[in-house]
Amino acid sequence: MTRRSFAVPVVLCAGIAGLAVAMAAAPVAAQDFPNRPVRMVVPFGAGGVSDIIGRTLAGRMQESLGQPIIVDNRGGAGGSIGSDIVAKAQPDGHTLLLGSNGTHAIVPYLYRKLPYDPLKDFTPIGMVAITPTVLAVNPELPVKSVKELLAYAKAKPGALSFASSGIGSTSHLAGEMLGAMGGVTLTHVPYKSASAAYPDVFGGRVPMIFDSVLSMTAHLKAGKLRPLAVTTPKRVGSLPDLPTMAEAGLPGYAITLWIAMFGPAGMPPAITARLNKEVNRVLTLPEVRDQMAAQGSEVTPGTPADLLAAVKTDLKRMGEIVKAAKIQPE
């Protein structure tokens, strides 16, 4: 009986060898992480809530990771520009995104051709914080409550405009909800960031703004803005006298901004776990927790699974809100 020999194709051998090397190298790569500076993309401009929280995280996390964490502000298009950068980055943990429900649950309904999928193109790392949004106006605007604001808007249809940190941001959607639920026409004026909008709001050129308590606090204390209400279901501890939008005359009105950390899809589980551990460690530091609480934010440590569940829940909820507000995708 003739013995038959089978030659294994060279390409197949090379592929098997490459796979073996990759599998052997994977645990080492995870153990050595990080081996160079980490880039944290904040998909909004400097000075906003995401930027403030991102820099707090970066400063604390790099102490234990042993590598610098560079905050890279890439604002525009409701946060989708910066988010897409991370979605297309190498999934080695050295490029991270400080996303939000704006980038992962609102923007998908505002653009017909979003360059990324909020679920498929990212690795959830962990929730970071929940922060309320405040409706404030230029002090020269002759209104001191939400009811007076709506009456003013009805008396002058189309005359009122509001600033936001960009199309698709929570502040944008908050304004659209106010117009829809209040039965008034408001003109949306998007900026690359909330900080970029403030000069026009202070000057009265855009008399209204929705922004986070975290980035608005200093302006409120300086008397540059008059707060009318918070958008959360409950009052905020740092502004106990400020009513919720529901209390101010719009029952059922509620929208909250959450901030979370993501990586590109396909990140090794060991690196994801390491980053989640570091995020949660920072969030449990008393000084970090107290600092955020004083500015209106609540730290929300959790697991990657918790974050994934939050994204799925908000995708459904925000879709319903966008539809109710009759916002047409671009």
Q: Are residues 261 and 124 in the same domain?
A: yes
Domain-embedded: residue 18: no
Q: Is the preceding peptide bond at 268 cis, omega within 30 degrees of 0?
A: no
Q: Which helix (H) or strand (E) holds 21?
A: helix 10-32
Q: Are residues 309 and 274 in the same domain?
A: yes
Count of structural domains, the chain: 2
Please give the pLDDT value at position 312: 96
User: pLDDT by residue (tens digit) across 118-147?
Assistant: 999 999 999 999 988 999 999 999 999 999
Tokens of 237: 């501890």
Q: Are residues 179 and 216 in the same domain?
A: yes
β-pairing, 187-190 vs 133-137, is unpaired
For residue 63, the domain's CATH number is 3.40.190.150
Range of the domain at 172: 133-230
Name the residue with higher pLDDT: 5 or 100. Answer: 100
CA distance 44 to 79: 6
Q: Are residues 185 and 215 in the same domain?
A: yes
Q: What is the pTM of this model?
A: 0.77
Q: Sorting pLDDT into bands at 50, 70 and 90, what band is 30?
A: low
Domain-embedded: residue 4: no
Please give the pLDDT value at position 275: 98
For residue 211, the domain's CATH number is 3.40.190.10
Lowest-confidence range among 22-31, 39-48, 148-157, 278-287?
22-31
Q: Sorting pLDDT into bands at 50, 70 and 90, what band is 29?
A: low
Domain-embedded: residue 247: no
User: pLDDT by residue (tens digit) across 250-309?
Assistant: 999 988 889 999 999 999 999 999 999 999 999 999 999 988 887 778 899 999 999 999
Q: Are residues 124 and 141 in the same domain?
A: no
Q: Are residues 220 and 280 in the same domain?
A: no
Residue whose C-alpha is closest to residue 264's, from 90, 37, 125: 90
User: pLDDT by residue (tens digit) across 57-94?
Assistant: 999 999 999 999 999 999 888 899 999 999 999 999 99
Q: Are residues 211 and 124 in the same domain?
A: no
Q: Are residues 221 and 271 in the same domain?
A: no
- Dihedral Cα 199, 200, 202, 205, nearest 10 deg: 160
* Chain Cα centroid distance, residue 27: 31
User: pLDDT by residue (tens digit) across 297-321?
Assistant: 889 999 999 999 999 999 998 898 8
**Interior angle at CA 268, CA 312 and CA 279, nearest 5:** 65
Residue pair 44/171 in contact (Cβ under 8 Å)? The answer is no
